Amino acid sequence: MAQTHTLAFEIGVEEIPAFDLHAAADQLQGMVPAAFDAARIPYGSFAVRTSPRRIIVMAYDVADATEALMEEHRGPAAKIAFDEAGKPTKAAIGFARGKGLAPEDLERREVGGVEYVFATKSVPAVPVIDLLPTVLTGFIEDLKWPRSQRWAAYREYFVRPVRWILALLDDAVIPLRFANLTSGNVSWGHRVLAPGPHEVATAADLLDVVRSEYVVPSEAEREEIIRAGVARIEEETGLAAELPAKTLLEVVNLSEYPQPLLGSFDEEFLRVPEEIIVDAMLMHQRYFPLYDADHALTNKFVIVSNGDPRCAATIVDGNERVVRARLDDAKFFYEEDLKQPLEAYVEKLDQVVFQESLGTVRAKALRLQRLARFLGREAGLPAADAADLERAAYLCKADLVTNAVIEFTSVQGVMGSYYAAAAGETPQVARAIGQHYQPRFAGDAAPDSTVGKLVAFADKLDTICGLFAVRQGPTGSSDPFGLRRGAIGIVGMLDAGLPVSLGSSVDESLAAFADQGIVFDAAAARAAVIDFFATRTKVILRDRGAAADAVDSVLATGVAEPAIVCSRVRALEAARTQSPEVMGNLAIAYARANNLRDASLGTEVDPALFGGVESSLDDAVAAAAEAVPQALSAHDYPAALRQLAALRGPIDAFFDEVRVMDDDVALRANRLRLLNKFVAVFTGVADFGKLAKRA
């Protein structure tokens, strides 16, 4: 049995950004087997390991050499490859050259009664160690980073400066160079606890050497250590930690030798709004807050140290002093902000540009106030709620210029809610301000009141309409203002029953921009916004599992209101599942009529030319033409579908007994008009031609 080997490859770098490191490990899971297969390197298994200062690829049961191969390729037919004199043609010469052979090396064989030329080429075995330098260098050069850099005078790029390269096949060093570094058998340990260098005798020893030098070279293992340490602290204190996935992933990839420790801050800071404290700990310092049994924030928190365990007390003290300084700032900013009512900050919004062509945030606040007034009427709100809606829309951006939000940006809106309550605004106004950025993403909760939803709706719609008005809508993957997220939020709220019209709201929003002196093509902007929402609605429905043809058939009717589109698509999908016979009748009835109709003739029929089945069909169409719009007005889409399905019998009888394309021109035209009239009943419901193949 051929001997196999262990491969160890380590790229040592300055600290890699946490999320970039996680993404690189994911990339390598696909890159490693692809590179080995492309080089025809036999191996048993591989593993990718990482820490903030290293990326490791281990491969096991790597063969001595690639397998020798006899490659065989079939080329053109012999009659094309050789002329009548038996000389090779351009086809044969080109085929042979492509395979590294001369035309006389080609073989002729018969396959299925046809003679072809074949190129047979022997590929010898190659020592794997000769292939590995190119493969391993590719792992460095081919990794994709959000941002790379050069350092010193080197031309090579990487996410951070590369400081060492270890490359071993068992105990043999694999020679490669990158950024003036030569590979070797030396690794480096924890920056503080065991910096190194540390010699690695053989590839199989690398992970053990790294671990012995206070580095945990596994993201999953570091997470397990952190979770276990947090659980220990929870048990000791009787408190519960909050471990948001994003922050946890970042902390896992910030430490090579993680040690969870307990810290605390002065209880007086608990008088500061909880959101600021949590923001200071999670977002700024990557600490995990601890809560009591009632889920009230406490003055305790978890630190994840990457230092010397013997210095735990010093590490905790240093981190507590950092938190104390941050919270002291937060307390000062909060108390300073409370010295003025929230409304006093609105005027200062003139100092903040919303968008270069759309003016300041204060101009946006005035537009929101106007749009909110319109939405209150549109939704039929009681006077008190309408007043709260307008007030919340006017004040919702005011906290952007407060000290606390300038320092802790993630609490915008939330701080406005606190300041509104402190200034004596109604609870509904304060709550709507605090929630008006919701929903922030698909699946996020919407505001919990109609007033809050309408403020959120107005804010998102104003941004979307404004950016489209000045031709700054999203393109490709670029969406700096989050218009797609905003549209998803709006569609979700409308689909959940928010009692306003998207179309009329878009008109009001665009009018507000025009009245502020912003010049744009209103008709083009409106069309672009409506199309943008139609596309978002389609994407949302597809993500929910709706069939593409069901969505397309509803959108083809020109319906622009997302709530109506969503309800109709759900009804079509339900009918397909629960009443396949209804959908079958609909599709067949529509298809038979639509295939023959002539739209240019119109729908004015002459009853005097009708026979019995024609009169019956005309009566059934007239009844449906009255019942279907009533069902649609009542948003009873299933009833509309049933009314249309009932036309199957009359249209079948019509086709069974009547020759539509009669020799009598008058009869033929009248029957075609009747079919036009029949199809017209369907047009406001869905384009059933798109469903016919699925039915």
Q: Which residue has the higher pLDDT, 655 or 262?
A: 262
Q: Give the separation between CA 656 and CA 649, rounded to whole angstroms.
A: 11
Which helix (H) or strand (E) is 57 found in, with range? strand 54-63
Instruction: Say whether 655 sits in a helix, a strand or coil.
Output: helix
- For 445-471, what is the mean pLDDT? 96
Residues above pLDDT 90, as percent of the chain: 66
Residue 434 has pLDDT above 50, yes or no: yes
In the block, tokens 């950025």 appear at 437
Ordered alpha helix ranges (H), 470-547: 483-495, 502-515, 522-543
How far are the Cα atoms of 76, 330, 380 from residue 115, in angstroms, in the given order?
A: 9, 85, 83
Q: Give the separation between CA 50 and CA 162, rounded to whole angstroms.
A: 14
Q: Give the separation between CA 689 and CA 695, rounded to whole angstroms.
A: 10
pLDDT, tens digit, for every residue of 324-376?
A: 999 999 999 999 999 999 999 999 999 999 999 999 999 999 999 999 999 99
Residue 477 has pLDDT above 80, yes or no: no
| Residue 433's pLDDT band (cuts 50, 70, 90) | very high
Neighbours of 305 (CB within 10 A): 19
pLDDT, tens digit, for every residue of 47-77?
A: 999 999 999 999 999 998 888 877 788 888 9
Q: Rank 52-61, 557-566, 599-608, 622-631 by mean pLDDT and report only the highest.
A: 52-61
* 179-184: long-range contacts, CB 8 A cutoff, minimum separation 24: 179/151, 179/152, 179/154, 180/152, 180/154, 183/136
Residue 581 has pLDDT above 50, yes or no: yes
- Residue of 9, 8, 11, 31 whose CA lies nearest to 179: 11
Residue 498 has pLDDT above 60, yes or no: yes
- Residue of 198, 138, 208 whose CA lies nearest to 174: 138
Residue 695 has pLDDT above 50, yes or no: no
Check if the beta carbon of residue 535 is closer than 8 Å to that of residue 542: no
3-state secondary structure 219-235: HHHHHHHHHHHHHHHHH
Note the pLDDT of residue 2.
Answer: 64
Q: Give the separation between CA 151 and CA 163, rounded to whole angstroms.
A: 11
- For 201-229, what is the mean pLDDT? 96
The DSSP bridge partners found for residue 675 are: none
If you average pLDDT over every residue of the chain, what do you get? 91
DSSP assignment string, 130-199: HHHHHHHHHHHHS---SS-B--TT----BSS-EEEEEEEETTEE---EETTEE-BSEE---TTT----EE
Torsion of CA 440, 443, 449, 450, to 10 degrees: 90
Instruction: Say whether 52 sits in a helix, a strand or coil.
Output: coil
Check if the beta carbon of residue 41 is closer than 8 Å to that of residue 7: no
Q: Give the separation between CA 420 and CA 343, rounded to whole angstroms.
A: 8
DSSP assignment string, 330-378: HHHHHHHHTTS-GGGGTGGGGGSEEETTTEEHHHHHHHHHHHHHHHHHH
Q: Rank 57-71, 281-295, 366-380, 670-684 by mean pLDDT and report only the highest.
A: 366-380
Note the pLDDT of residue 459.
Answer: 97
Token pair belonging to 343 = 């409304």
Note the pLDDT of residue 694.
Answer: 47
Q: Give the separation between CA 604 and CA 593, rounded to whole angstroms.
A: 16
The one-letter amino acid code at 60 reads: Y
- For 438-459, what is the mean pLDDT? 93
Q: Give the separation between CA 248 and CA 673, rounded to whole angstroms.
A: 68
In the block, tokens 């340490």 appear at 229
